[in-house]
Structure 1
Amino acid sequence: MKDKKIQLILKRVLDIVVSLIVLIPFFPLWLLIAFLIKVTSQGPTMFLQERPGLNKKIFQVYKFRTMKPGSENMVKGQEVMKDDDRITAIGKFLRRSKLDEIPQVLNVLKGEMSLVGPRPERVSSLADYTKEISKRLNMKPGLTGLAQVSGNIYLSLQERYRFDVYYVENYSILLDLKIILRTVGVVLFGEDRYVDKRLVDLKKGVNEAAVTKEETISK
């Protein structure tokens, strides 16, 4: 228990240091991205939405807008793939490079998110959570996570949940570092490159039957 507390303290220190590195020196890039979004499509520069965080605490997540105005009303229950026509021209680049997620370092600095953790879902998703799936809320949501470096959009919802629960139950600073390094690879080579190159064996530490129960509940 003491070792885990120390690792969580180190995790928070890493969150702050890396977020400041991303925020301060690269702020001119933020301004350029905001300008390009504004001149290439109608609508706001930023996309803000309420998401459940640690222990279901609701917070507002920040992202650069990558979709056409009104698209959010059509997103629920539909995965946003690379060729989705709701995505703007600059949005395709931002999503591919993960730069649309960069404003979330502000969420990290505020303590609402971490660099690594389960990705924050919509508040409406909580209604379908089983006891097992709810474990993903026992840690702060992250800019990147185990599911995001193991196939992400190519995984089913249940598979992503299994990765999230595994991460929470087997957390370590070493695992965080592995995920961060793999995230660099995802940005450079794409998510499809890692569909069959998972970092962990999901058979360890996950109550798969309980997670799969989500399929029954959602029907």
Structure 2
Amino acid sequence: MYERYGKRLLDIILSLAATIILAIPMGLVALWIKLDSPGPVFFKQRRVGKGKTHFNILKFRTMRGDTPHDVPTHLLKDADSYITGSGAFLRKTSLDELPQIYNILAGQMSVIGPRPALYNQYDLIEARDKVRANDIRPGLTGLAQVNGRDELPIDVKARYDGEYAAHVTFWNDVKIFFRSITYVFQRRGVVEGGTGAMNQTKEEKSSK
């Protein structure tokens, strides 16, 4: 019942409330981005939604205008050089994700769910297929985000996504929501220009 009806209703209520409460802060962020570097305020990118349909995700722009568009950050050479001054702060605090409340309102995303993959992240999409994580709406935050985020390798991310997809409940969503707030304030799990750092660190330690 919750997964079919309650979750979507809760998404609408939370995203509408966020639109009202965050209108002024988001306006200030938009102004900062405009003053910081030339280019649009918002960044659109094709992502994979429920049932592997595609949609355009919205973010505050955090990189220069000449950044390759459909390349994941961890695949960019010297990724830090592309990130703007305002963008570095927005990414560390996850404030760049705020415009996705409109993706939630449109029904393309949920507040809680697997983070939407780039349309060309075939390894992640395939890994999620195996655990049926592509069968649910992607989210603003999710189980993988509160268990390592960028530090997790693809297979571990997919495993967490599958675990969530198999147990979509109100209480799971509540726990992930509040754990996400803790992660944001502590700035945990953010690895610019890299992914799977947790796994890599373990391998480096074991080889010494």
Pair 1:55 & 2:51 matched: yes
Task: Give the RMSD, CA atoms, in angstroms.
Answer: 2.2
Match of 1:140 among 137, 140, 143: 137
Pair 1:181 & 2:173 matched: no
- Offset of 1:8 from its aligned partner? 3.3
Aligned to 1:208: none
Q: Amino acid of the residue matched to residue 71 of structure 2? A: V
Contact 2:113/2:141, CA 8 A, preserved across alignment: yes
Q: Amino acid of the residue matched to residue 40 of structure 1? A: D
Closer/same/farther in 2, CA of residues 94 and 130 from structure 1, 3 Å limit: closer
Aligned to 2:152: 155
5+ residue gaps, structure 1: 194-219
Aligned positions, number: 187
Contact 1:61/1:107, CA 8 A, preserved across alignment: yes
Q: What does 1:1-219 correspond to in 2, within 5 Å?
A: 5-73=1-69, 75-76=71-72, 78=74, 84-126=80-122, 129-130=126-127, 132-133=129-130, 135-192=132-189
SS at match of 1:63: strand
- Offset of 1:143 from its aligned partner? 0.3
* TM-score normalized by the length of structure 2: 0.82
5+ residue gaps, structure 2: 191-208
Q: Amino acid of the residue matched to residue 21 of structure 2? A: P
- Offset of 1:190 from its aligned partner? 1.7
Partner Cα distance (2:63, 2:72) in 1:
14
Closer/same/farther in 2, CA of residues 130 and 18 from structure 1, 3 Å limit: closer
Q: Amino acid of the residue matched to residue 175 of structure 1? A: N
- Offset of 1:123 from its aligned partner? 0.8
Closer/same/farther in 2, CA of residues 165 and 15 from structure 1, 3 Å limit: same
SS at match of 1:122: coil
Identity fraction in percent = 36
Closer/same/farther in 2, CA of residues 47 and 55 from structure 1, 3 Å limit: same
